[in-house]
Amino acid sequence: MKRTYWILILGIVLVSCRKEIRNVYEIDPVHVGQRGSKTHLKSDLQFVSIAYSDLFGRQISTQELNTLIAGYNSVGDKGLVIDLIVRNLLQKPGIVKETASEMQSDPEAFVKKTFERFFIRKPSEMETWFFSDLIRENSDLNPEDFYYALMSTEEYRYY
């Protein structure tokens, strides 16, 4: 009987000492960036030609492109040159734009349309609210002011 008792205890011990199976799930690290983030800096030619086509809805002539690029390359401060080029283009006649009254009548639609035109993306809800509110509060703003604000951003320099 003692032998049976020890066999029974040994059996219980062996059964109860099973190795516990644990499932381990590992997750690979994932870099999450802003949707549609732009990482490539536009070249000088790309910047000038894209800015022109964004404003006028057509390609820039070779002669005008060469003139603007010569000015672009002659100054070391690219931020200043970009500002001057954008201001110069905004003062030329023939810009495809909405009127100030159209902009004031539906600021949200204007903001969405302009973001898609210049940034090739939809604005976030915060951007839509902020710029629409800014347009409503400042009746003396015109579309060129808004175009300048977007074209002089860091985001506009990238694709």
Q: Could you give the CA distance from residue 45 to residue 145 in angstroms, rounded to a whole number?
A: 24
SS3 71: helix
Buried b (16+ CB within 10 A) or exposed e, 82-109: beebbeebbeeeeeebbebeebbeebee
DSSP at 41:
B
- State the pLDDT confidence band at 15, using cuts at 50, 70 and 90: low
What tens digit of pLDDT does each residue of 72-113 get?
A: 777 777 788 888 889 989 999 999 999 999 999 999 999 999
